[in-house]
Amino acid sequence: MKRILWTLFPVLALALVLAGQALAEPLTIAAGAGYKKPVTELAAAFEAASGTKTELVFGNMGQVTTQAKTSGVVDVVVGEQAFLDKAGLAFSGVAPIGQGVLVVAWPKGKTLAAPADVARPEVARLAMPDPQKAIYGKAAREYLDKAGLAQAVDGKLLVVATVPQVTTYLLSGEVDAGFVNRTDVLDLGPAIGGYLEVDPSLYAPIRIVAETLAEAKNPEAAKAFAAFLATDPAKAIAKKHGL
């Protein structure tokens, strides 16, 4: 019986939060650009389940946290928990979404046998997100340092703002390889040459969460969204996108 009650709790919590409410003001969710697809799908599913409209903002995490601090319109921020906890924002609650995975990908016509092949001479141009502003750039830098590859690749790095920008270079063939997240490459299929997951012991764990701002303009909708993220449909969406 206890197991059944705990399984039903997220659904009941969501229903209780929404019962009798007509939330006219939209819920504004800001997220890292590398999670545009799962966040967009989660928001659409939440809208369908609750009737609450959502507005979405995407960018690198530096842009996202700055907008959350200054705009006064952001209710929820989706990103990596450790990064958000150091961003100087006040949060009132956190809801887990999933675990992020760093991968190295390459364009059509190329191939890598192992992530460490990014140090080989045939990889003349290697793209990565900005380590100061994007969590997967930070993870890629940690990997390169811990794997002893930094000196070999630093001269050929192309540092861009976001994961999707790295993907754009991969799709165009303008780089020989790039660091992105598993979420961003899952749907690309034959549009790229392939990808390999990086050893997770060589970078800090990436816990993707949705955190509600303490001064959220729509706290009840934010609470409902957090409850929705704990439901089976939301978990299925996160899993589908590699989280």
- What are 139's two structure tokens? 């993870």
Angstrom distance (rounded) from CA 80 to CA 205 = 9
Residues 6+ apart with CB under 8 A from 182: 100, 101, 102, 103, 195, 197, 242
163 assigned binding-site residue: yes
Residue indicated by tokens 């059944």: 4
198 and 155 Cβ atoms separated by less than 8 Å: no
Taking the CA atoms of the chain, what radius of gyration do you get in angstroms? Answer: 19
- According to DSSP, the residues that pair with 211 across neighbouring strands are 77, 94
CA distances from 150 to 68, 116, 128, 143 (A): 33, 11, 13, 9
Binding site for molybdate: what residues are annotated?
Answer: 163
Binding site: what residues are annotated?
Answer: 163
